[in-house]
Amino acid sequence: MYYKSTSRSVSDLKAHLVLVTKYRRRVINEQILEDLISIVNNLASKWGVEIIEVNGESDHLHILFGYYPQMQLSKFVNNLKTVTSRLVNKNHAEYLKTFLGYDSVLWTSSYFIASCGGITVEKLKQYVESQNSPSET
C-alpha cells in the first residue's frame, strides 16, 4: 500500500469523480477522450494529485485519483471542469457546435464524487470493532 506523506500527516485518500456532459449529449469521441486524459494528467500534476485511472464514454468521464488531505476537492473539481471545457472547446469547436450549439459549456453544473479505499466499509467496520477499548487494556 502506498501512502502520501507530508511533514504533518500520512494519508491514503482516493476519490472517484464522474463528470457528465451538458444535456448528457454524446460528444466525447476517441480524440476528445485522448485530449481529456492528457489535460486531466497535466492539471493533476499542478495540483499534486496522483491520477490512478481516467476513462470515459460518449457522455461522461471517470477519474480515479489520490490526493492530500489539505486539498480542497471542490476547488480542484471546479478547476478541472473549467480547464477541460475551455481546452476541448478550443481544439474541437466546430465538432462541439453540432451537439451543443453555441453553448460552449462541456459539463453539467453538477458532478459525482465518492471517496474510495483499498477495503470495503464492512471490512473497515470489522477492524474498528475488533480494536481493544481503553478499559480492556
Whose grid coordinates read 472547446? 89
Strand order in the sheet with 50-57: 50-57, 60-67, 13-20, 112-116
* pLDDT reported for residue 132: 65
Whose grid coordinates read 471542469? 81
129's CB contacts (< 8 A; 6+ apart) are none
Domain that holds residue 19: 4-136
CA distance 69 to 5: 10
CATH number of the domain at 29, please: 3.30.70.1290
**Domains in the chain, number:** 1
Q: What tens digit of pLDDT does each residue of 20-76 get?
A: 999 999 999 999 999 999 999 999 999 999 999 999 999 999 999 999 999 999 999
* pLDDT reported for residue 130: 81
* pLDDT reported for residue 111: 98
Output the CA–CA distances (angstroms, integers) from residue 126 to 28, 65, 134, in the order listed: 42, 26, 18
Q: What tens digit of pLDDT does each residue of 95-116 get?
A: 999 988 888 899 999 999 999 8
Phi, psi (degrees; rounded to nearest 5) at 41:
-65, -45
> What is the value of pTM for the model shown?
0.85
Q: What tens digit of pLDDT does each residue of 81-91 get?
A: 999 999 999 99
Rounded to 5°, angle at Cα 112 from 108 and 115: 155
